Amino acid sequence: MYDIASNELSYFLSGLFGGLISTALMTLTEVPSWKRWGLHGVFEWHENQIITERLFKLSDTKIHFKGIFFFHFLNGMLAGIAFPFIVALFFTGFIDSGASLLLLGMLYGSVFWIITLVPIHKPITGFSPFNHPLGHMPALSSLGGHLIYGLVIGFMIFVFK
């Protein structure tokens, strides 16, 4: 079903496009959190704001949406590129249906959240994801966005396989 040697370009392109679409849909799910709690209520955007300010020595008095979304989509596309290769390398014998690929995508989204967001959020922003001044809803919203990302990347890779 998945043969890395003969499908490298296909995996790369499907992951890139899948990551782009997944990130776009994830971003749409994050807009209500931003409207309700502001920048601190969307973990990924808050991190990317700080990174943008530090890298480009920008003011911290305004939101830098170009930088926020540049890094957000860059990360989403890179994670998207990795997904079909991970499936091919580790899960070829287990993927027997579209449903299993969707579930694997959701697992990927949640693991991606645990590995990439949880350990770096406090060092970058100064806010603990689990002891956040806005409560637990921003963390749940962020995890929900990553689950949507994973569901969509699983679907996109299923469609392109």
- More confident: 157 or 66: 66
Residue 1 has pLDDT above 60, yes or no: no
**Amino acid in the structure at residue 145:** G
CA dist., res. 42 & res. 59, Å (int): 19
Spatial CB neighbours of 52, under 8 Å, sequence gap ≥ 6 = 58, 64, 66, 67, 68, 70, 71
The model's pLDDT over 39-61, given as tens digits with 9 standing for 90+, comes to 999 999 999 999 999 999 999 99
For residue 6, pLDDT beyond 70: no
Compute CA distances 151 → 54, 55, 83, 130, 133, whole Å: 32, 32, 12, 24, 29
